[in-house]
Amino acid sequence: MLLAAVAVNAQTEHICKSTDEAAQAAHTRLLEFRSSPQTQNYDVKYHRFEWVINPTVRYISGVVTTYFTAREEGFQTLHFDFDPALSVTEVRQRGTALNFQVLAAEKLLAVQLPNPMSLGSLDSVSITYAGQPPATGFGSFAQANPGGNPALWTLSEPYGARDWWPCKQDLNDKIDSIDVIVRTPAAYRAASNGLLVSELQDGADKIYHWRHRYPIAAYLVAISVTRYAVYSDFVPVPDGEPIEVLNYVFPQDSAWIRNETWRIVEIMQVFNELFGTYPFADEKYGHAQFGWGGGMEHQTMSFMGGFSHLLQAHELAHQWFGDKVTCASWEDIWLNEGFATYLEGMTYEHIPAAGSWRNYLVGKINHVTGSAGGSVWVDDTTNVNRIFSSRLSYSKGAMLLHMLRWTLGDEDFFQAIRNYLNDPAIAFGYARTHQLQAHLENQSGLDLDEFFADWFYGQGYPSYQIEWGQSGSRLAVKIDQTTSHPSVDFFEMPVPVRFVSATGEDSIVVFPHQFSGQYFELELPFAAASAEFDPQLWIVSKNNTVTNNPAVSVDEVETFRVRWFPNPAADVLTLDWPGFEGAPVRGECVDAAGRKVFAFEVTSAQSTFSLRGMPAGTYTMRLFTPKGTQLQVIVKQ
Ligand SMILES: [Zn+2]
């Protein structure tokens, strides 16, 4: 979801601290509601929705048929999340009326089955109901007259599905498939999930039948009914059928929107390439215009309040991140929104004509560091504003992905993300943050506990104070770090610094920063005239300083003298260390992006290393001695 109206620096964090008793009771109910204990004893297989909608009236009536299997022996009471503002007229099973009860305080509908079911057995019930739904969240069931045309739409995320249909509104049981059948006066069209399989005239009405055969979360089921003009764009797929992008737009806006929706073709091609083909390619993708000031990623049919490049990119990105893989708890909403926000920026990285990737990164870093605290992890899921905090769940979530990409390198990062999307335990289901972490760790071999402790659960960001002094070709660098929030005392990150000579030679050196006040010794092949922290904007940080300070000297850090030669080197590099003291010293060779090429251990005064097969370029040799970290830039020919 994206609120287009939210200004980039809008503060949307509010922590619920009411002492009012009624508010606390509601708070407790919502907390309990997250786990919906009464609905956990069955598995939803299928819904058939038969709704009657007139978009001039904020009202719904219809029949919802649910197929389900029992998750426990003797299962006999079927609960749905359901708002008591709606009234049920009957519940039937194979023609027989069943007893039911609406539990107003719990917002549940309890249906009594005639016989106890055995574990794993399948059955169904049909619920006939009607009423005027409450409007919660972002307007779960809304009516308006944009441009003078009556329109009715739904937007259930996060807790609003039960406002307008009897559902199982949790984040652990996807509905395996749905049919959505909407009857409406013939002047209107109904947009929904999946494929439109029929459109029938019946008297003064039309009946639209949409069929969706992919698993779907309750909050992603949606309808929008109004006068619509219809046209399609098509996205070419190598070795496959083109993917249809079906556009349902207000007739009065059709001309200008046609001049915007073509952008989706190139955007989808970028995502197909990076994350695997659009997950619902057997059906369609679509845009349905609605009267809300933002966008919502309803599965296979995003509802759009505008058609900017970024909004189109954001909602399409959700089809992979949010719809194919859905956060399994609202604590982990960044798995939906952080990804969708990061993928917005990545369209700039891959389609430079669309916008500036660098400006996108500057904007996100400024947004995140606009306040000293706040975690990506949602600490209060009863507060819809906190769940959808644009600074934390969107911008900081996006930058967490960017920093993970920096830490892992592109190859491992993107492979890990594809592995995550295709994991059978996750794909077309739900995921928690630890499952993403596991895929990133399995692919890279890194331990990311510290990263997630600092950046996901922890709050704030680092500020770096870098001092450097050069004597001859030897450079001494001291890196200090302060943090903006006491929940994290140190962010362990690879720190890139670009050194530039007076004649324009330059080298980006990545420092493995492990504690504040850490000294590094570095040999540069030129005299540095200036230095720049994080020139490519990989790290969320603020108020950084880089100072040329002759007092930070090689003498201060140098406790040993080593020589790497020849430099430049061809296939063999030699380390000469006359003062080697005998205790093994760990080392590694990293490339210009800070990625480890190989690790080694020094056990004698002279060692040789093979560089055979490594691409030509600049590398940094690192030695982790008990007295400090020694770095040397070498050139491989
Ligand atoms: Zn979103």
CA of 4 to the centre of ligand 1 (A): 10
Query: Residue 158 and residue 257: Cα distance in Å, rounded?
Result: 28
Residue with the bigger pLDDT between 5 and 508: it is 508
CA of 434 to the centre of ligand 1 (A): 21
CA of 336 to the centre of ligand 1 (A): 7
Query: Residue 540 and residue 536: Cα distance in Å, rounded?
Result: 11
HSE toward the beta carbon, residue 348, CA cutoff 13 A:
15
Q: Cα 296 to chain center, whole Å?
A: 14
| Residue 209 confidence (pLDDT) | 98
> Are the CB atoms for 70 and 121 separated by under 8 Å?
yes
Amino acid residing at 466: I
Query: What is the token pair recorded at 590?
Result: 């990293």
CA of 608 to the centre of ligand 1 (A): 52
CA of 478 to the centre of ligand 1 (A): 41
CA of 397 to the centre of ligand 1 (A): 11
Instruction: Write out the residues surrounding ion ligand 1, Cβ under 5 A.
Output: 1-2, 337, 340
Query: What is the token pair recorded at 573?
Result: 């590099």
CA of 266 to the centre of ligand 1 (A): 20
CA of 296 to the centre of ligand 1 (A): 7
| Residue 618 confidence (pLDDT) | 87
| Residue 64 confidence (pLDDT) | 98
Q: Which of helix, strand or coil describes residue 559?
A: coil
Please report the domains of the chain, with CATH numbers, ordered by start residue.
Answer: 36-227 (2.60.40.1730), 327-457 (1.10.390.10), 462-557 (2.60.40.1910), 563-636 (2.60.40.3080)
pLDDT band at residue 16 under the 50/70/90 scheme: very low
CA of 133 to the centre of ligand 1 (A): 24
CA of 293 to the centre of ligand 1 (A): 13
Place of tokens 């349902």: 248
User: What confidence tens digit (pLDDT) does each residue in 596-621 have?
Assistant: 899 999 999 999 999 999 999 889 89
Q: What does the radius of gyration of the chain's CA atoms come to, in whole angstroms?
A: 29
CA of 421 to the centre of ligand 1 (A): 17
CA of 488 to the centre of ligand 1 (A): 28
For residue 454, the tally of other CB atoms under 10 A from its CB is 21
User: What confidence tens digit (pLDDT) does each residue in 429-469 have?
Assistant: 999 999 999 999 999 999 999 999 999 999 999 999 999 99
CA of 395 to the centre of ligand 1 (A): 11
User: What confidence tens digit (pLDDT) does each residue in 110-154 have?
Assistant: 999 999 999 999 999 999 999 999 988 899 999 999 999 999 999
Query: Residue 477 and residue 515: Cα distance in Å, rounded?
Result: 13
CA of 508 to the centre of ligand 1 (A): 35
The model carries a pTM of 0.88
Residue 19 has pLDDT above 50, yes or no: no
* Rounded mean pLDDT, 298-308: 98
CA of 299 to the centre of ligand 1 (A): 12
Phi and psi dihedrals of 86, rounded to 5? -90, 150
User: What confidence tens digit (pLDDT) does each residue in 39-89 have?
Assistant: 999 999 999 999 999 999 999 999 999 999 999 999 999 999 999 999 999
Residue 549 has pLDDT above 90, yes or no: yes
Per-residue burial over 272-284, b if 16 or more Cβ lie within 10 Å, else e, is beebbbbbbbebb
pLDDT band at residue 15 under the 50/70/90 scheme: very low
CA of 433 to the centre of ligand 1 (A): 17
CA of 461 to the centre of ligand 1 (A): 24
Residue 475 has pLDDT above 70, yes or no: yes
Place of tokens 């708002």: 83
pLDDT band at residue 246 under the 50/70/90 scheme: very high
User: What confidence tens digit (pLDDT) does each residue in 389-418 have?
Assistant: 999 999 999 999 999 999 999 999 999 999
Residue 212 has pLDDT above 80, yes or no: yes
CA of 315 to the centre of ligand 1 (A): 6
CA of 458 to the centre of ligand 1 (A): 23
CA of 313 to the centre of ligand 1 (A): 10
User: What confidence tens digit (pLDDT) does each residue in 343-358 have?
Assistant: 999 999 999 999 999 9
Q: Which of helix, strand or coil describes residue 163?
A: helix
> Are the CB atoms for 614 and 544 separated by under 8 Å?
no
